[in-house]
Structure 1
Amino acid sequence: MSHTVAISATKVEGFRQATSKVPEVTAIFWIIKILTTGMGETTSDFLVRQIDPPIAVGIGAIFLIASLAVQFFTPGYNAWKYWQAVVMVSVFGTMAADVLHVGFGVPYWISTTFFAASLLAIFGAWYWSERTLSIHSIYTKRREFFYWATVLTTFALGTAAGDMTASSLGMGYLLSGALFAAVIAVPAIAYWKMGLPEIPAFWFAYIVTRPLGASFADWMGVSQVRGGLDWGTGPVSLVLAILICIFVGYSTHSSRRAPHGRPQSVASQYSEPSF
């Protein structure tokens, strides 16, 4: 009887891994995530300076909806479609945060507080509905909806927080990047050395990747008058896009060589971790 139950549990876990719509959390995952945050920041800045801002935001919204629709209707995980959606979330999330400040004059500390409260509300609704916030459990449409709502809000929150430290607090982009590089080490150390549960550690780090990547991308792209290297937001966006393609291609190639078609991380051994 116990052997039959074990086999059934293994089959269920295998099905969940096969139908999960998000990648395993590996070093490559974090590299690509940080690259997308930087690309979203500089691409958004480039577009609103080349195109009338309302039109740029409208175009961003259209591409975001299209990329998410492709992601939602794709069975299982597809690296290219998933990361395309993340890139568009990054671009539009940046625009959403910038619209509040530039378009409506909302101070960064207020928009940061607003997006933080929105994120907590989404987490609350997600946990109340599903009893888990684990990204290893994204195998239903409802959980996928909660996941992408969370991702979009984390990008907007990270944008507002990064701009607040760089502009409102006068730290500049390079120092802001260094600050968030130190902050992102907190959940890693707490997870490995202090027993912080996996789920809050993951989402803590996930949120911080946004201002981390965006701060360094801004530093490379903006003019020297604004404390940057003046490489231009367009060239920086292009280089980041190429790097993203390289790492996504590498991850796709690696997953095809791995057993069962997807790389296994230590964290993926636990299908329903509790929060």
Structure 2
Amino acid sequence: MNRTVAGSTKVPEVTLMFWLVKIAATTLGETGGDAVSMSMHLGYLLSTGIFGAVFLVSVLAQMSAAGFKPWLYWTTIVATTTVGTTLADFADRSLGIGYAGGSALLLALLASSLLVWHRTLGTVSIRSITSRSAELFYWLTIMFSQTLGTALGDWTADSAGLGYAGGAMVFSLLLALVLAAYWWSTVSHTILFWTAFILTRPLGAVVGDFLDKPQAAGGLALSRYTASAVLFLFMAACILIFRQRAAKQAH
């Protein structure tokens, strides 16, 4: 049974602060996921199980909430980034699919999710997320996009040989092109939103790796715990200082 919240959705309004927190969340997902799977030596499979459970609890709480709750929403986003990190690493490295194969598979799953969502409800706009079915599609799509971002970021930095700094520059440039299209083209804003949403994940992945990977590998060799704590504090400050509103419901 679908439930509609009159006048607003249960997701935040898309502002500059939304994108800053989103990039911080995706970077935290990378450092946090690596901290548990690598620094704690729990491995990719067990870490995926732990983060997967956190993700399921967060999504259920988010869907049960009466309206937009900033802390709950961003907790769920971070949960998708951490489980996406360990799941992609497990598939790419432990299962031997490889970065290119993993990216291709996840891209197909992401495209399928958006296509089925659009055919089922007629739109994939965040302004339409006012029912349980729309929320399910929303979080499933985000889950695929966050996992894809990890694989795509690793493929760009490692297999493509661009390194972490080079990968960050590539994805930053692509996001700048999306921003230019937003201001100076007639491309659908819904398409541009999802394009930017997807691209922020590989950006966060390569930035996170740049922060905590060894200097010999092109990173800064920062502690994964320290990097994760700083990113969390930045997100917390943004949420506390800058009031976030729910996105308006489409009419």
Normalised-by-shorter TM-score class? over 0.9
Contact 1:41 1:94 in 2 (8 A): yes
In the alignment, structure 1 residue 180 sits paired with structure 2 residue 171: yes
In the alignment, structure 1 residue 36 sits paired with structure 2 residue 25: yes
Amino acid at match of 1:64: F
Q: Distance in 1 between matches of 2:224 and 2:165?
A: 16
Equivalent of 2:156, from 152, 165, 188?
A: 165
Post-superposition offset of 1:231: 1.0
Q: Distance in 2 between matches of 1:15 and 1:74?
A: 14
Q: Distance in 2 between matches of 1:90 and 1:31?
A: 15
Tell me what 2:225 maps to. 234
Contact 1:223 1:232 in 2 (8 A): no
Tell me what 2:236 maps to. 245
Task: For 1:46-125, list aligned pairs within 5 A.
Answer: 46-49=35-38, 50-53=40-43, 54-125=45-116
Contact 2:31 2:227 in 1 (8 A): yes
Q: How many residues align?
A: 246
Q: Distance in 2 between matches of 1:126 and 1:194?
A: 25
Post-superposition offset of 1:250: 2.1
Contact 2:10 2:68 in 1 (8 A): yes
In the alignment, structure 1 residue 271 sits paired with structure 2 residue 243: no
Q: Percent identity?
A: 32
Q: Distance in 2 between matches of 1:230 and 1:212?
A: 18
Q: Distance in 1 between matches of 2:86 and 2:95?
A: 13
Amino acid at match of 2:37: V
Describe the superposition over 1:154-173 as per-residue Cα deviations: whole angstroms up to 9, x where unpaired: 10111111100101111111
Equivalent of 1:191, from 182, 189, 195?
A: 182
Amino acid at match of 1:43: G
Paired residue secondary structure (2:96): coil
Q: Distance in 1 between matches of 2:182 and 2:87?
A: 32
In the alignment, structure 1 residue 220 sits paired with structure 2 residue 211: yes
Contact 2:21 2:235 in 1 (8 A): yes
Equivalent of 2:124, from 108, 130, 133?
A: 133
Q: TM-score, normalised by structure 2?
A: 0.94
Amino acid at match of 1:97: A
Paired residue secondary structure (1:22): strand
Q: Distance in 2 between matches of 1:151 and 1:89?
A: 7
Q: TM-score, normalised by structure 1?
A: 0.86
Equivalent of 2:14, from 25, 30, 49?
A: 25
Equivalent of 2:6, from 15, 23, 42?
A: 15
Amino acid at match of 1:37: T
Q: Distance in 1 between matches of 2:191 and 2:166?
A: 26
Amino acid at match of 1:190: A
Describe the superposition over 1:79-108 as per-residue Cα deviations: whole angstroms up to 9, x where unpaired: 000000000000001111111111101111
Paired residue secondary structure (1:21): strand
RMSD across aligned positions (CA):
1.6
Paired residue secondary structure (2:138): helix
Q: Greater CA radius of gyration, 1 or 2?
A: 1
Post-superposition offset of 1:14: 8.8
Amino acid at match of 2:117: W
Describe the superposition over 1:189-216 as per-residue Cα deviations: whole angstroms up to 9, x where unpaired: 1121121111000000000000112211
Tell me what 1:8 maps to. none
Q: Distance in 2 between matches of 1:112 and 1:179?
A: 17
Q: Which has the higher contact order (CA 8 A, sep 6+)?
A: 2
Describe the superposition over 1:123-167 as per-residue Cα deviations: whole angstroms up to 9, x where unpaired: 111001110010011110000000000111110111111100101
Structure 2: runs of 5 or more not aligned: none
